[in-house]
Amino acid sequence: MKNLNGLTYYEILKIPANSPSFEIKRAYKDVLSMYNEDSLVTYSLFSNEERDKILKTIKEAFLTLIDENKRTAYDTILLDSGQIKVSITSIENQEKPPRVHTYNMTDNDNSAERVKKKLRKKELETLCNEIFSKDLISGDDLKKMRKTAGIELSEINAVTKISVSVLKSMEENRFEGLPPGLYLKNFLRLYAETLQIDPQKVIDGYLKHISESVD
């Protein structure tokens, strides 16, 4: 496993995509032991620089998969790209078999269909034209669009599997509660698609709002 490029985080840790957290922790320790400086197995294979890079990647994989919100976002990316077929959506109880969801599960489809039927498209379209005429899109704008559409946060959660706490952070401009860039972009895309509004405009406007707010 000298070259980790192209491997998913699950492949890096050598675990299946539906592994609970205790298996992730155990796998992390096992893989670390293979690449640390005391390992006789890999000692002669890597320079210190190569080993540091590998250990950094392994740590990144672990920190992503052990965090429920980051893992959900990462799994969604893998599902969309066809790299995995199942995803953990809740890993709170690690002693019980995890709930495994497929991308096209009936409960998810039903939630999406219910939201689609509820959408107040005409009112939402008018508001979106006004909001999208600006360069910036704030959390307040997201909330206005959602409420105008007649959709509850719990319904977006049911469709996207984004936790309600992260959704609230998005709408309340609590940037410290948001995931890193790649995951946030995917969350914004799912949020926009649920409301059937332009995902790219939402992503670009919201990220620009964050950028100008933290400068």
Measured distance CA(24)–CA(61) in Å, rounded: 10
**Residues 9-102, CATH architecture:** Orthogonal Bundle (1.10)
Please provide the average confidence, as pLDDT, over all residues in the chain. Answer: 81
Among 4-8, 20-24, 29-33, 64-68, whose mean pLDDT is lowest?
Answer: 4-8
d(CA 30, CA 39): 11
What pLDDT does 144 receive? 96
**Architecture of domain 106-214 in CATH?**
Orthogonal Bundle (1.10)
Contact 212, 174 (CB under 8 A): no
What is each CA distance from 24 to 21, 71, 94, 151, in whole angstroms? 5, 12, 11, 36
Q: How far is CA 35 from its chain centroid?
A: 28
pLDDT band at residue 108 using 50, 70 and 90 as cut-offs = low
Does residue 94 register a pLDDT over 60? no
Q: How far apart are CA 50 and CA 9, in angstroms?
A: 18
Do residues 156 and 123 touch, judged by C-beta distance below 8 A?
no
Specify which residues 86 forms β-bridges with: 102
Tell me if residue 91 falls in helix, strand or coil: coil
SS3 11: helix
Long-range residue pairs from 198-207, CB within 8 A, at least 24 positions apart, any chain: 198/128, 198/132, 201/132, 201/137, 202/137, 202/142, 205/131, 205/132, 205/134, 205/135, 205/136, 205/137, 205/141, 206/137, 206/138, 206/139, 206/142, 206/170, 207/181
How confident is residue 45, by pLDDT bands cut at 50, 70 and 90? low
Query: At 88, is the secondary structure helix, strand, or coil?
Result: strand
Q: Do domains 9-102 and 106-214 have the same CATH topology?
A: no
Burial class (CB in 10 A: 0-12, 13-18, 19+), 179: buried
Span 132-157, pLDDT tens digits:
999 999 999 999 999 999 999 999 98
* Domain chopping of the chain, boundaries: 9-102, 106-214
